[in-house]
């Protein structure tokens, strides 16, 4: 599923983010940038140890929640991995929506600053961090729409979703956004 925004593309696909042939992929990282499971584990396994070595060398203090940092992509097809830290869901009253928006926004800013015309992102925060997918999808797509409207560097934003449930939630949110 895709929509055009100012001649640029916002699309959804179901699959494995490590298979994407784009300029940058976004990693659902933890604040210690210490590797983990889910998307993070898959990216580090496929990209190889150079990603973790660079992350530890360049960002020894980690990355705060709501922000992102960038590294090379090791043996992945992408040029860069943007490590974004989403908030842990605590019921929605602890500033989670602002932090999630900020993590997505910072990811797009880093992509633009590194001349990445194509970026692939997961459903940040929706795995072990427990962010409700219906809410996260609206935040993610709203942020992506604002970036595509304002930043001519980014030509393609692709959300790569794992499983039919995530895809369905993002598809519903994209239909709302496009209406």
Which helix (H) or strand (E) segment holds residue 49: the answer is: helix 49-58
Give the count of beta carbons closer than 10 Å to the beta carbon of residue 16. Answer: 12
CA distance 17 to 37: 14
Listed residue (81, 83, 102, 108) closest to 23, CA to CA: 81
> DSSP readout, 59-94?
-TT---TT-EEEEE-TTSSSSEEEEEEPPPPSSS-S
40 is catalytic: yes
**SS3 state at 175:** helix
The answer to whether 76 and 43 are in contact (CB under 8 A) is yes
Give all strands (DSSP E) within 87-149, no chain letters: 118-121
- Of 16, 19, 23, 40, which residue is the catalytic one? 40
Give catalytic residues, as residue numbers: 40
């Amino acid at each position: 599923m895709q929509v055009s925004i100012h001649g640029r593309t916002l699309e959804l696909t179901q699959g494995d983010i490590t298979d994407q042939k784009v300029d940058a992929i976004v990693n659902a990282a933890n604040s210690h940038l210490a590797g983990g499971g889910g998307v993070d584990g898959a990216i580090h396994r496929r990209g190889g140890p150079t990603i973790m070595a660079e992350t530890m060398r360049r960002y020894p203090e980690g990355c705060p929640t709501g922000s992102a940092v960038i590294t090379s992509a090791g043996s992945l097809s992408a040029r860069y991995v943007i490590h974004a830290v989403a908030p842990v869901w605590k019921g929605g009253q602890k500033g989670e929506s602002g932090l999630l928006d900020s993590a997505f926004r910072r990811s797009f800013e880093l992509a633009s600053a590194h001349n990445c015309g194509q970026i692939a992102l997961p459903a940040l925060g929706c795995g072990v961090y427990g962010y409700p997918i219906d809410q996260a999808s609206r935040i993610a797509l709203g942020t992506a729409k604002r970036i595509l409207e304002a930043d001519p560097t980014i030509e393609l934003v692709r959300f790569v979703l794992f499983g039919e449930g995530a895809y369905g939630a993002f598809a519903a949110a994209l239909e709302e956004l496009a209406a």
